[in-house]
Structure 1
Amino acid sequence: MNGHVLVLNQDYSALTVCSVQRAVVLMHLQKVHLVESADDRYVRSPSVELPWPSIVRLKQYANVPYKRVMLSRKNVLKRDRNTCQYCGAQSNLTIDHVVPKSRGGRDTWENLVAACVTCNNQKGDSTPEEADMELARQPFRPSYVMFLRDFAGEIEDTWKPYLFLS
């Protein structure tokens, strides 16, 4: 039962992504409505055959406060696609402060980037301009929908309207 299922709130806003197994349990417990299913695929047991879920919607509205992506090393690396923002390397990655901490740089989305050990050491206690190193792209605060999309890997066409991608 490999795969991901988009979970929508009762108002059809994207809430999270879960496994097919979890979605089937929610369907069986009648906690969700099936919105979209995969063609010609089913989840079978000896007594039940259910459509393979692709999108489900909660029957009861879940009051979720403003969804923000938590600032963490793992999430910075995910935002930067596990790539050094100075040279493009994809191994031996660390987190670099664009404006060094010793110069008042803070731990914020806009000041942290993925960097390989070599580039991080070369940049040292300098700004990228002082070290003559150019960032591939400026760091930014990612949206919750962006992380939902990236968590699932390749997204299905049926998900796009709910993730504002169509």
Structure 2
Amino acid sequence: MCVATAESFPALVLNADFRPLSYFPLSLWGWQDAIKAVFLERVNIVSEYDREVHSPSFAMRLPSVISLKEYVHLDRRPAFTRFNVFLRDRFRCQYCGDCYRSEDLTFDHVLPRSRGGRTTWQNVVTACQDCNLEKGSKLLRECGMTLMTEPEPPSTFRLQENGRGFPPGFLHESWSDFLYWDSELEA
């Protein structure tokens, strides 16, 4: 059987504690990388698809969930990136409060760079293009705008929790025990 693309059968990657490495973007590996990690004995197979891949002398079901054998510590500080600013702010303009897709967002310096503001977690917020244009290089009190929340450096845990609020379009049923999106809890 020939599997057309890596996206066809992604494997959910769990840390050694059986929690996803990340929620947003969801920690997924293409089937080729998952099989390579299995052969290199870096992961355990937790669940499999019904589909197989074959070589002349070998057949293997494609992994749908894998767990790392060695725990990856996630307690380091998140990288200061545009995407992580959007994720920290939950893809919500910090001025008008509306939610947007990432390609419709920008970031704004609360204290404008033209007035000595720096590009730091504490001075950068998510903004829609209209609010960013309206604020321009003015201070908040000069333009009558207010912030939804004060900007601060997020923890990796906070970004993970925020990411859980944005499930991807495709979720294989074998992943549900590990992701907790729309899971009904027992009474």
Gaps of 5+ in 1: none
Task: Pick from 8, 12, 23 the counterpart of residue 15 of structure 2.
Answer: 8
How big is the shift at 1:114? Answer: 1.7
| Paired amino acid for 1:75 | N
Q: Is the 8 A contact 1:33 1:57 kept in 2?
A: yes
The alignment partner of 1:26 has SS state of helix
Q: List aligned pairs for 1:155-166, cutoff 5 A.
A: 156-159=175-178
CA 110–31 in structure 1, closer or farther in 2 if over 3 Å, else same: same
CA distance in 2: counterparts of 1:111 and 1:148, whole angstroms: 22
CA distance in 2: counterparts of 1:13 and 1:101, whole angstroms: 40
Normalization by structure 2: what TM-score? Answer: 0.62
Task: Pick from 120, 126, 133 the counterpart of residue 138 of structure 2.
Answer: 126
Q: List aligned pairs for 1:65-76, cutoff 5 A.
A: 67-76=76-85
How big is the shift at 1:44? Answer: 0.7
| Paired amino acid for 1:48 | A
Which residue does 1:19 correspond to in 2? 29
Q: Is the 8 A contact 2:92 2:126 kept in 1?
A: yes
Normalization by structure 1: what TM-score? Answer: 0.68
CA 95–14 in structure 1, closer or farther in 2 if over 3 Å, else same: same
The alignment partner of 1:23 has SS state of helix
How big is the shift at 1:140? Answer: 3.1
Which residue does 2:167 correspond to in 1? 153
Larger fraction in strand: 1
How big is the shift at 1:68? Answer: 2.4
CA 18–108 in structure 1, closer or farther in 2 if over 3 Å, else same: same
Gaps of 5+ in 2: 1-7
Q: Is the 8 A contact 1:69 1:143 kept in 2?
A: yes
The alignment partner of 2:122 has SS state of helix
How big is the shift at 1:148? Answer: 5.2
CA distance in 2: counterparts of 1:143 and 1:2, whole angstroms: 31
State, as a whole percentage, how many aligned pairs show the same letter: 29
Which residue does 1:42 correspond to in 2? 50
Deviating more after overlay: 67-76 vs 88-97: 88-97
The alignment partner of 1:30 has SS state of coil
Which residue does 1:52 correspond to in 2? 63
CA 12–157 in structure 1, closer or farther in 2 if over 3 Å, else same: closer
How big is the shift at 1:96? Answer: 0.4
CA 153–89 in structure 1, closer or farther in 2 if over 3 Å, else same: closer
Give the aligned CA root-mean-square deviation in angstroms.
Answer: 3.5
How big is the shift at 1:160? Answer: 5.1
User: How many residues are aligned here?
Assistant: 156
How big is the shift at 1:115? Answer: 1.3
CA 19–145 in structure 1, closer or farther in 2 if over 3 Å, else same: farther
